[in-house]
Amino acid sequence: MAELGLIGAGVMGGALALNLAEKGHRVVLSDLDLAKSEAIAAKAVAEGLPGRIEPVANPRAMVRALARPRAVMILAPAGDPTESVIADAVQYLERGDAIADLGNADFHDTRRRAGKIGDLGIGYLGIGVSGGAEGARHGPAMMAGGSAEAWELLAPALQSIAARFEGEPCCTFHGADGAGHFIKTVHNGIEYADMEAIAETYGLMRDGLGMEAAAIGAQFTAWNDGPLASYLVEITGKVAGTTDAASGTPLLDEIDDRAGQKGTGRWSVIEALHLGAPASTLAAAVEARNGSARKDERLAFEAQYGAAPQPVTGVTPEDLEAALLATRLVGLAQGFAILSAASRTYGWGLEPAAIARNWRAGCIIRSALLGEIAEAQDGAPEAPLLAAPALAAKLTGALPGLRRVLAAALAAGHPVPAMAAALIHVDAMRTGRGTANMLQGLRDYFGSHGFERIGAPGKVAHGPWADAG
């Protein structure tokens, strides 16, 4: 009998099924469209993997073909489609079986499902999968949360197909119920911030320094040999240096400047607000995408107010490298702060070093910095990321370049929201004597005059308004 069941033969599901088959696992594959499952099975045969993928018409047939205890994985669109698939599959499972959702689920849904399905004696896992279809086929990073018993059942197969860093699988169990899906959500928030910082750097080179796309690509490629080494910087160099075959112009000039989003990056910012964790750099990236989608409005503003970006002077490639590095460090630090706040709130006991190691291969934000972060968090898991001496030294060295870039960019009308948010966060956190006493004073004034108080009570205000009528 087959070892694993997989529901969903779309791009991600099909790639994952082939990866499992290639690693020696027998998979029963089900989809609403049987032809999709059959096509994946035929592809497996063509790739020299006969008999490894068995297409079936529905979850009931899939469960019947599985050896006990049965392990079922789901790759379906988040929300109602996943809810429907789970409800259909669960009715055929028994105590001791396991079900795992590998989609981009809202972790609140995962927490609810874990409790509900766990009451039936069926183990439930929520697993974040990063790396896209290419990763799913050849080695994704996977972040699991939920039932420890279900993890024991599925771990051998999942770790066999995961990306590897120095021989270690980037597939880890992180904690109860929604821990895995929450980590993936924050991963995507960090990804948004990283991509926005890269886009801002590209914009400064193109519109501020007048650099051609090929030269920009070459600069990013050179940076990838230094502290910015990462998957995103690597592919930025490749994309910027690519020419469109049909037009002969740089590929980037053929792509419409409207950024889309699927929601997980936005979720990370929403949850950060609920948790009281800093997320300004991530929020700036989400906001930038929201603004980019309003292209008609942007064109109207340009016509009314004039084009914003003007030539930039006094900025060197070394300054831009420093600005990008500093923004990336702050984005990562804010992401890990969100994870720590969630771990305390939901009792997950997350280990930041384990999360950093989970992200070193297979995922979109993989970078050389993650190894340094893992080492720093090994020694002080409760400390803020930027308190680690090695990372603090990197940030301190990069801040002067970030300041020069921001000063020149803002003076010349270049929108650099992620970079600005990163610097403002650092300066706000290093201001020992802040301005919150004024906020407290205003709040206490409102309270003394019958207005609703907001937040925890602070010192009593003794300002000139104390006896005001």
Q: Which residues are catalytic?
A: 184, 191
CA atoms within 13 A on the CB side of 336: 28
How far is Cα 129 from Cα 181, in angstroms, rounded to an integer? 9
The encoded tokens of residue 398 equal: 């990069």
The answer to whether the beta carbons of residues 159 and 140 sit under 8 Å apart is no
How far is Cα 380 from Cα 4, in angstroms, rounded to an integer? 39
**Residue 412: which residues within 8 A CB-CB, separation 6 or more?**
208, 309, 310, 311, 312
CA 290 to chain centre: 17
CA distances from residue 289 to 192, 262, 263, 366 in whole angstroms, order as listed: 9, 11, 11, 22
Which is nearest to 40 in space by CA: 14, 6, 58, 66? 14
How far is Cα 458 from Cα 42, in angstroms, rounded to an integer? 68
How far is Cα 136 from Cα 360, in angstroms, rounded to an integer? 16
**Residue 235: which residues within 8 A CB-CB, separation 6 or more?**
none
- Rounding to the nearest 10 degrees, give the CA dihedral for residues 244, 249, 253, 256: -50
The encoded tokens of residue 111 equal: 């927490």
By DSSP bridging, strand 164-165 and strand 168-169 are antiparallel
DSSP class of 416: -
Q: Angle at which helices 179-203 and 107-118 pack, to 10 degrees?
A: 170
The encoded tokens of residue 93 equal: 């499972």
Type of residue found at 52? R
How far is Cα 340 from Cα 379, in angstroms, rounded to an integer? 15
Tell me the β-bridge partners of 330.
none
